[in-house]
Structure 1
Amino acid sequence: MDFKNIAVVVSGLDEEYQYNIIKGINQFALEHEINVSYFAAFGGVVESRRFDLGEYSIYNLTNFSAFDGALLMANTFSDPEIRGHIVDRVRESGIPVVIFESDDYPEFYEISIDNYSVMKELVEHIIRHHSAKVINYISGPLANPEARQRYDAFCAAMEENGIEIDEDRIFYGFFRSYDGKRAIEEFVESGMALPDAFICANDSMALTAASALEKLGYRVPEDVIVTGFDNTFSARNSCPSLTTVSRPLFNAGYTACEILYNVLCGKEQPKSTKLEASVVLAESCGCNTVTAEDLKEYRKRTYRRIEDTNSNINLLNRLTAGLSDTKTSEETFDVIESIVRELDCDKFCLCLTSDWQDNYDIDRNVSIDIDYSEFMTAPLIWEKGERRKISYFPSSQMFPEKLTTGGNINYFLPLHFGERCLGYYIISNGEYLIYSLLCYTLTMNISNSIENVRKLHHLNKAMEELNRLYVIDPLCNIYNRNGFINKADDMFRRCVDEHRRVMLSFIDMDGLKFINDNYGHNEGDFAIQRLATIIQDCCSRNSICARFGGDEFIIFSVNVKRDEDVNLERRFNEDLENMNRIINKPYKLSASLGSVIQNLKEGDTLYSMIKLADDKMYDIKKQKKKARKSEKV
């Protein structure tokens, strides 16, 4: 069967508005076996542009051309740049699109709820029925189309009723709950007289504004009226209950998905669909025209919320504690899997950029076009109790494993640290991300743990490099004196315990000063490197060698034959001759070699053996000098 696949782009999942729209979309999708993939971020949460860039990276992952159609909840984005970027990308794909609350794109199908008329009706009620003359307005971001419609409706109602709009009494927020508290704080600091009413662009801001006013000693609605917009659970059950606006959000989501599905099936659909909202008059304006929820039902729902929240907090505490003790990526993935098992989902995929451990530098000049790597890796795929992984898959595929059935609801959330993109995770057929108020905290915990593993990986690499620099000679790329002593001392002790036969050879380069003085230090370094190569080639697998000083080298060998010193000297001299023939320099590579073989016993030391080999090497060096003098005579 040919299943339809649609993408939904949304900002935020833990707000009641998004929740109800998503529930409507999912209901229609399940009824028609449509695969829905949500691409979601939580921009603006920590007021950091760099952090937002990391969040918004998920929208660059969305390969719209891989879907049959898309739903754009553009009204959930307060940043017009991000909204425009997403619209441009989906437009380029050429797939059918239904957009929420925006008539700016005539090529798209639009579904909207009449914000303007119902907000105007609410403001007029406050003015005409409650005789309000001085009104403060707490607005959402005007770049958001819904916020703009509500603001315009407020202004129109004020003007039509002959009330002057005082710009100082308008606070521009971002629809976030603490914007209501900030609005009251700014009002108090202004020293202005208390207004007759605070009209708020949504319930979240209205509830915190009312709470802040009551903390200051003002009573709602006796001293001042407060209204909201959305008719959320908290608004309905607050004390006083909030005068607000009820919108058919579930129906909007269901209808949007239905319109897109019909378009994909070749059925003609209206370009614009508008749903009606209604004013809900309640206690916060002095009108109690609605029946409060049944007390038993309210208590049941409230207890369920508290129980779910406590359960989620416990889960996050265990996740945080478990991740704090991990030192490797595998340990981290094990802890994440243990928590995923409790999320009540069918499938969880942890997808990381193929270079997530490799890239250490931070580019501070990241644009919103930040891209995922061409290939991704999925080190953790959990599905119905079974775990597996996929080494590589193209990021354009998005899913590490292609969908083979219909009716799957998938949520994609970004994993990042600051603006650095680490990857994303996918939860399939589970509602944790939309019902839990702590899903964002879960995402941050996973992101931070992966970043910590990444940093630990680079710290270990740096420590390995420091250790290498401590024990390796940079010119010859063999052990230096420190490295030799560390390595050979352990070998020597074991050989003493086991009474093994060992050989220690000391090598001193002949004529290095002559080469440096006559041909330069670069040639001297070249000669030292070639000698080091010869010494390495002469070593067996039971030997280690090192540059012991400027022109001094050393070899330590275990389990040697009685005549190994003779064999080594023969190989060494042959390799010297071959090297001189290959490099064809105006000087000759030459070195003096002294070797000592001993059957080790208690009391023998590495240093005493080095001294014996060094003395023997110098005896040979003296004999060479005497021989050269005799030749000259």
Structure 2
Amino acid sequence: MGYKIAFFSWDWLFEIVQEKQKGIQKFLDEYQDISIDLFENYGNYGLVHPMDSLLELYKLPNIKDYDALIFQTNSNFYKDYRQQMIETAHRYHIPVISINDPIKNCVYVGTDNQKAIYDITRTIIDEKHCQNIAYVSGPMTSREARLRKAGFLQATEQIENIQIIDGNWNTEDGEKAAKMLLDHLPELIVCANDNLAHGVVNILLQHHIEVGKDVYVTGFDNLTIARAANPRITTIKRDYQTITYTALKTARELIFGKQITHVYSPFKIIKSVSCGYPASEEDNSELKQEYLSYSYNSNCFFESLERLEILFSKASNFSELLDIFEKESQNLGYKQVYLIMNSDYVDSMSGDITQFSDIMYLMGISYHQLIPDKRHIYQKFPKKEILPQAYKSRYMIYTSLSNNGVAIGYLAFDHYSTMISVNFMTIILKLLGLTIEGIRKEQVLSILNERLEDLSIKDSLTHLYNRFGMNHLGKSLFQSYIKKDHQALIYFIDMDYMKKINDEYGHDMGDYAIKETAQILLDSCSQDDFIIRYGGDEFIIITNAMSNQLPQIINQKVEAFNQLHAYPFDLSLSVGHYLASNKDQFETAINKADTIMYEVKKQKKAQRV
């Protein structure tokens, strides 16, 4: 029997995403009894209000279908909904793990943030003999930030001269903090992460303050920005691959009944130039290799992206775009890529679609021999399935497809691609979402224009052409028949007893009579014939000279209607026709057909008398 883990990720840095994927793959290679569904979006700490359309991805899974949940999220994740998922899991005794973010009633797996900041602060204090120290904090909405601040305060509780500046996680806040510290420069500035430290270093260098000699600076995370900085930033290194692997292994142990409250992953203090330590040749070698790899992959990617932009720009409808997507997605390195679209988005003309409907459309498949329908839909399925079972594998990655808050759908990837980095994949997703939305807007505009045109040339009750439509389109058809055949037939039809129907049964019933007459005429005519509601109960048919049996067909349809209908009235029509030649003007032919129709009506009245 296999077990299923739902992994919810809201990552803020692509470096972390890459390492996380390596940890997942290592776990899957070692444990064959586990399958993983990863629900992945890319957030950041600067995004104050994440779009509701992105939340729809996390609403897809039914929590009861999984044996364990893992959250790797930040302070901007949808906290209320996350809490709902956690509470649902607890009701069904499903274990929940949180990575690097301590959450109540969840097993914590990750860095001991308080101890890490304590250790790096005490190390520099003790080895560099610092007594005047500042701390640049992350946002207090983040549990990680609060724990790191607590670790700093614990490390400096015996020191009198400390300054604390609260910030966010970004470089800009580090720069602001450094400017505030210039007048009373400390010996050591401890930063809650590498981005803050990088911002601090930038300002100090601008003011000709030698970092690593005049003042020491530390960071946290050992990101590329810390390793590439000049001077190289002293920081905390934590192994995201190992943390992810440990979280999955812990989830498996919890599934099998083991009692665990937390698992701390090892961290390492990286001493470097920003605190007066010597530079590491290993750092330089790693950065050089990373740069060469990134440079090569970037060139390849942007060549592919340029080709993709050109191809997408040529697509005039969904089917053409999806054909291109299916072909090009084969070059992304995934075993399989599926494009699932929100049925409300595909079927509706509304521009404010922020939620998924209950039915989803499978509209793109990378490798297949299937034939979609005319709208490029391979399969319609309930949203709760996420993806039809026939297409699922042990490791599926789901990520949102949206544009400017519109919930277009999502993509499903069979396993992780080592050929394309997550930041490049994100660019492709944005391009795809933008192109889909552009095509949809054009289609909606075209439909609206057609409807507006219909409103101007068609009768609202019968949906036949009105007089405006006759003069603009019917006249051209008449002239084309005259030019081709030198003849055209005009039928003028008037409903008998219409006043009686209105007087005895009401105008609503009169409208029914008019609509039924219109339907009889549509059923009697060919697709090439042009039918007009000329006035209240008058109709005109423009057709070719060969359609001389039309009055008999109409009379047969009327008789059949009168025998089968459930209305309190019978229909009766008077039909006059005129065979126009190239000597006749359009309006003249109409008037002559009208005159003949009234002669027919007079004859019918005379017969009744």
Report the TM-score when normalising by structure 1: 0.81
- Provide the residue aligned with 2:265 in structure 1: 275
Deviations 1:74-100 (A, max 9, x none): 457655435424423443453333332
- Provide the residue aligned with 2:193 in structure 1: 202
Instruction: Identify which of 225, 240, 248 aligns with 2:239.
Output: 248
Residue 84 (structure 1) aligned with residue 83 (structure 2):
yes
Instruction: Identify which of 358, 362, 365 aligns with 1:381.
Output: 365
- Provide the residue aligned with 2:295 in structure 1: 306
Letter in 1 for 2:276: G
Distance 2:574 2:257 in 1: 93
Deviation at 1:572?
9.5
- 2:339 is paired with a residue whose SS is strand
- Provide the residue aligned with 1:119 in structure 2: 117
Deviation at 1:59?
1.2
Deviation at 1:48?
6.2
- Provide the residue aligned with 2:461 in structure 1: 475
Cα distance, 1:458–1:189 mapped onto 2, change above 3 Å: farther
Q: How does 1:332-371 map to 2 (within 5 A)?
A: 332-361=321-350
Cα distance, 1:7–1:506 mapped onto 2, change above 3 Å: same
Distance 2:28 2:555 in 1: 82
Distance 2:285 2:163 in 1: 44
Distance 2:160 2:370 in 1: 67
Letter in 2 for 1:286: G
Contact 1:101/1:145, CA 8 A, preserved across alignment: no
Letter in 2 for 1:35: S
Instruction: Identify which of 183, 190, 214 aligns with 2:205.
Output: 214
Could you say what the CA RMSD is over the residues aligned between the two structures, in angstroms? 4.0
Identity %: 26
Distance 2:274 2:491 in 1: 95
RCO comparison, higher one (Cα < 8 Å, 6+): 1
Deviations 1:418-450 (A, max 9, x none): 443222112223335983433322222222223
- Provide the residue aligned with 2:478 in structure 1: 492
Letter in 2 for 1:560: M
Letter in 2 for 1:273: V
Instruction: Identify which of 596, 602, 608 aligns with 2:578.
Output: 596
Cα distance, 1:610–1:65 mapped onto 2, change above 3 Å: same
- Provide the residue aligned with 2:142 in structure 1: 144
Contact 2:514/2:537, CA 8 A, preserved across alignment: yes
Cα distance, 1:332–1:533 mapped onto 2, change above 3 Å: closer
Distance 2:276 2:202 in 1: 17
Contact 2:193/2:220, CA 8 A, preserved across alignment: yes
- Provide the residue aligned with 2:24 in structure 1: 25
Deviation at 1:569?
9.0
Aligned length: 603
- Provide the residue aligned with 1:39 in structure 2: 39
Letter in 2 for 1:316: L
Contact 2:45/2:76, CA 8 A, preserved across alignment: no
Distance 2:55 2:444 in 1: 26
Distance 1:302 1:122 in 2: 28
- Provide the residue aligned with 2:388 in structure 1: 400
Letter in 2 for 1:303: L
Letter in 2 for 1:392: K
Contact 2:11/2:44, CA 8 A, preserved across alignment: no
Residue 317 (structure 1) aligned with residue 315 (structure 2):
no
Residue 610 (structure 1) aligned with residue 609 (structure 2):
no
Distance 1:99 1:569 in 2: 75
Contact 2:337/2:412, CA 8 A, preserved across alignment: yes
Cα distance, 1:186–1:275 mapped onto 2, change above 3 Å: closer
Distance 2:399 2:202 in 1: 33
Contact 2:482/2:488, CA 8 A, preserved across alignment: no
Q: How does 1:387-426 map to 2 (within 5 A)?
A: 390-402=378-390, 408-426=394-412
Distance 1:402 1:57 in 2: 23
Letter in 1 for 2:357: S
- Provide the residue aligned with 2:375 in structure 1: none
Distance 1:267 1:219 in 2: 55
Distance 2:461 2:407 in 1: 38
Instruction: Identify which of 311, 316, 329 aligns with 2:318.
Output: 329
Letter in 1 for 2:167: Y
- Provide the residue aligned with 1:556 in structure 2: 542
Letter in 2 for 1:137: Y
Distance 1:534 1:409 in 2: 59
Specify every segment of 5 or more residues in structure 1 that has no aligned partner in the other structure, as ranges: none
Report the TM-score when normalising by structure 2: 0.84
Distance 2:408 2:520 in 1: 46
Residue 161 (structure 1) aligned with residue 159 (structure 2):
yes
- Provide the residue aligned with 1:97 in structure 2: 96
Distance 2:426 2:547 in 1: 68
